[in-house]
A and B are shown apart, each in its own frame.
Chain A
């Protein structure tokens, strides 16, 4: 595992040397010493072959990593470009999240912690954390917005079965940002024996860099896999962006390849012009949220504005500071995808390839289809960050699935491959 030293941050956690110091550490004093210690332990661990070897062994033997690269020929035919899918949906627990949590859980053990806490939006990070806690014998508490415990009930049950306590957060907008607030409140009081297993490449230093480095295997593997398969680098690399862990995990390997276009797709919700979205980079402004300077959806007074997305995992009004930096410098582009576009892509992928992906990942598929239309014949590497089992409740409601059998020609999904108008 190679640290991404040339990509920052500096020792204060800042990305970029321009007029904006992205990232940093805006946190209560009570947590600063712990963050210092975490930074030191993590830095030492990444230079310790014992640690990195154990991490790689766990990923290989337990998590199903490296994940496959899949040449999606039927989807490609439909798209008019060659679409390659990095199958993170096939990892243990169903998403790229397992990479990050195994790394952080190993660090927790190295620091002598007995308890891990986590926040979760869609529940994928919560499930992964509960899994790693069970695997390594740590107590686990997961904070989840009450809105999300309702729309992701299956993942709540999974966490509980794994032995974690799930706390439904009723404060604020009752979604991911409030779950983070509550987890920070817990951590301030329990930091002596508790590790905060942060779920995305955001938050105070060292989390953006640490989570990136635990996830960067996605891109490192995919880069080698694409080269082996096609003999060349992809023209475009894409991922969905909420907080941005899967995206930065994918993008990192390609940042120094100037000919590779890098595009992240944010949650456009009902459409960016409606104000009901989570397109933080596209439509947000510079601010500080959850310990880092980044793009934030906020009002004139700096109050966080509630985000909206059909995808719980992208429903966050902030974004990792390295993405803010990459957007600012222009090295990566970030574009919004609406709920309807994502759900159309979800159905199309299911029908053309037999893969039901997470709604989060469907944003990346939808965006890639748009890029394919602009660049026919190109090769597009898409991070398929998670699987869609958890989203079936949403899909049933959106598409009107289930219930009595219907004739094939009357199936609501049957029309989706051809139209973008399938949304209610």
Chain B
């Protein structure tokens, strides 16, 4: 298994930001998502986030909702998500699962953590679980050395930034806008200040925890801009969009996915 710290060691030695790419498992179907995620690795993603499709995704906009719904209607199960992790992690690229909390709790926190470890997964990103509500996950992750990626937001107080970064391992996920996931025409002017505040908190704690910035990036130019101040550029909806737009034409979808990944990978190298 590869943890995200190995990926960041490499990108930092190359003097650039990491590209983190997201797709939900089971979208367009389980085999299709594995193929697409491996292609994203091949085309330049440094870290992979696999979404666990959930019936009530309150932090997701229409694009990811549509993909998750398609995956659920196709019958994707938690076991399929872990199978997808196994296939992608086998490439040697650190692979995280991004999931709302109830599917983990329902599966059993210990059982989920062990299944993730056994599949070669690096850890979890938890959009609706904050460290102050996450004692059980933190214990399960710490017992196995799994990454715990928690989120910070423009509305986070300094106390919460300190608490959240102290609890995070792998990186901390800075949600750069106040809003749900989705492609945005321009990157948010809230991102820079949030990253600066987070860096100040990390500096005070003498921590080198990387900061990933997410929500809204859709092209190399934006990626380069964000890479100018962040350790990782996180892209989700734009990847999902390429496959949604291609519909039944899987080859066209994968071609667009490859082109987008390469554009973004070039972007993080310009930042």
Contacts and interface: CB of A to CB of B under 8 A. Distances in A.
A172 interface: yes
Interface in B86-109: 101-107
Given A188-B178, A191-B155, A287-B106, A304 B56 contact: yes
A303 B179 contact: no
Nearest to A205: B133
A287 B56 CA distance: 13
Contact of B59 (A28, A34, A289): A28
Contacts of A190: 178
Interface in B57-86: 57-59, 61, 65, 69, 72, 77-78
Given A29-B153, A29-B160, A304 B55 contact: yes
Interface in B153-187: 153-157, 160, 164, 175, 177-180
Contacts of A177: 56
Given A288-B105, A289-B102, A303-B103, A33 B156 contact: yes
A418 interface: no
Contacts of B104: 302
Given A26-B128, A34-B155, A290 B106 contact: no
Interface in A136-191: 171-172, 177-178, 181, 184-185, 188-191
B180 A29 contact: no
A302 B128 contact: no
A29 B133 contact: no
A121 B135 CA distance: 34
Interface in A80-98: none
A31 B152 CA distance: 10
A177 B72 CA distance: 17
Contacts of B244: none
B106 A188 contact: no
Interface stretch (A208-216, A293-301, A380-388): A293-301
Q: Is the interface of A mostly helix, strand, loop or mixed?
A: mixed
A302 B77 CA distance: 10
A181 B54 CA distance: 12
B56 to A, nearest CB: 5
Nearest to B79: A301
Nearest to A291: B128
A189 B103 CA distance: 25
B130 interface: yes
A30 interface: yes
A288 to B, nearest CB: 4
B83 to A, nearest CB: 14
A32 B178 CA distance: 12
A27 interface: yes
Contacts of A33: 155-157, 160
B103 A302 contact: yes
B55 A29 contact: no
Interface string B120-144: 0000000111101100000000000
B238 interface: no
A382 B177 CA distance: 47
Contact of A28 (B55, B56, B58, B78): B58
B151 interface: yes
Given A27-B130, A33-B156, A185-B180, A301 B56 contact: no
Contacts of B3: none
Nearest to B54: A303
Candidate in A29, A296, A298 with the most chain B CB atoms within 10 angstroms: A29
Nearest to B174: A29
Contacts of A34: 155
B150 interface: yes
Given A26-B101, A30-B154, A301-B103, 12 more contacts: A28-B151, A29-B153, A29-B175, A30-B178, A31-B155, A32-B160, A33-B157, A172-B56, A189-B179, A190-B178, A287-B102, A302-B103
Interface of A: 12, 24-34, 171-172, 177-178, 181, 184-185, 188-192, 287-291, 296, 298, 300-304
14 contacts: A12-B132, A26-B129, A30-B153, A33-B160, A172-B56, A181-B58, A185-B179, A188-B58, A287-B106, A301-B103, A301-B106, A301-B107, A303-B72, A304-B55
Interface of B: 54-59, 61, 65, 69, 72, 77-78, 101-107, 127-130, 132-133, 150-157, 160, 164, 175, 177-180
Closest 3 CB pairs of A and B: A302-B106, A189-B179, A30-B153
